[in-house]
Amino acid sequence: MQNPVLVYRGDALASYGFGDPHPFGLDRHGVFQDELAAAGLDGGIDYAEPGHASVDDLLFFHTAEYIDKVSRMSSEGKGYLDEGDTPAIAGIFEAASDVVGTTMAAADAIMEGRAKRAFVPIAGLHHAGRGNAAGFCVFNDCAVTAEYLRKKHGVRRIAYVDIDAHHGDGMFYGFEDDKDLIFADLHEDGRFLYPGTGAADETGTGEARGTKLNIPMAPGAGDNDFHMAWQRVEAYVDQAEPEFILLQAGADSLEGDPITHLCYSEQAHADAAAALCKLADKHCAGRIIGTGGGGYNRRNLARAWTRVVQSFVEAG
Ligand SMILES: [Zn+2]
């Protein structure tokens, strides 16, 4: 196949997680890779090894104080990095840096012409802010990669599209006043689900007003609701004419997730990925990175992420 999709896999990526009984366990990587391997997409996929982000890389988005805090607490290996969702387990600094480095490596591969599209399953850690951990997310790989694309590769206008059940608050508030970070996020209404943000009237601030689209979805929303709302996302990204697309394909928006209340099927993820590939071909020379994001029902995450990769492969 002419344009194989790069899929990142390896122990470094698998090691980001918090162990049983935390929802973000260490088995998510393997469950997905097994499903993908069984999907018969081999000719359309090239596997790649995880990367590693240096402290200088993390500083593209995060504050020095916060990076120091994570490093110190990771060495001690006890307590929480936030109010109780994100444990400071031993080695989490290195694991979180590897997640960031892998999404950056995907950006390098695409910008250097080694691939058009890439998928990083354990990534899309969208709750991490510039100076804080939140919601199982230590470092924000999409945010660091967005800044990296600008500084290293001269890309300016980036679309970030998030279909995880939770609002991507780390991305939204991290770039709230940045007019060249186009943000579109379909998520369960914050009145019913963590983190509580992402109301429809949050559209960006200052000169970035209007560059952010938040669409809260009612608990119980299914595929029909998704597709109605998705039409707005597609039109929004299309008119913004981005140079690169980042997709956060959180699978916790599928029916049966243990910590959310949305009811999509994996078809939503397949269709979103296919539509974004078309927009990437139209505006971005095909460039798109998919990240796995959340998803705590193992069967759902395996199927939804595999369908994202399949859509990338079928888009050519
Ligand atoms: Zn989520």
Backbone angles phi and psi of 245, in degrees to 5:
-120, 130
Of the residues 29, 127, 187, 283, which is catalytic?
Answer: 127
Q: What's the pLDDT tens digit per position in 284-293?
A: 999 999 999 9
* Mean of pLDDT values over 291-315: 98
**Mean of pLDDT values over 16-28:** 95
Judged against a pLDDT cut of 70, whether residue 312 lies above it is answered with: yes
Query: What separation in Å is there between the alpha carbon of 286 and the centre of ligand 1?
Result: 26
Alpha helices, H only, 200-297:
223-240, 266-283
Predicted confidence (pLDDT) per residue in 184-210, tens digit: 999 999 999 999 999 999 999 999 999
- The answer, yes or no, to whether residue 275 has pLDDT greater than 60, is yes
Copy the structure tokens of residue 108: 């390098």
> Please, what is the Cα angle at 155 between 154 and 159, to 5 degrees?
165
**Alpha carbon distances (Å) from 138 to 128, 162, 259:** 6, 18, 19
| 127 has catalytic annotation | yes
Encode pLDDT of 91-112 as tens digits: 999 999 999 999 999 999 999 9
Share of the chain above pLDDT 90, in %: 98
Cβ–Cβ < 8 Å for 140, 125 = yes
Rounded to the nearest angstrom, the distance between the alpha carbon of 226 and the centre of ligand 1 is 16
Q: pLDDT band for position 2 (50/70/90)?
A: low
For ligand 1, the distance from its centroid to the CA atom of residue 251, given in whole angstroms, is 7
Tallying the residues shown for the chain, one arrives at: 316
107-157 confidence digits (pLDDT tens)? 999 999 999 999 999 999 999 999 999 999 999 999 999 999 999 999 999
What is residue 140's predicted lDDT score, i.e. its pLDDT? 99
How many whole angstroms from 167 Cα to the centroid of ligand 1?
7
Give residue 20's pLDDT band: very low, low, confident or very high (50, 70, 90).
confident
- Pair 188, 219: CB distance under 8 Å: yes
**How close is the Cα of 83 to the center of ligand 1, in Å?**
17
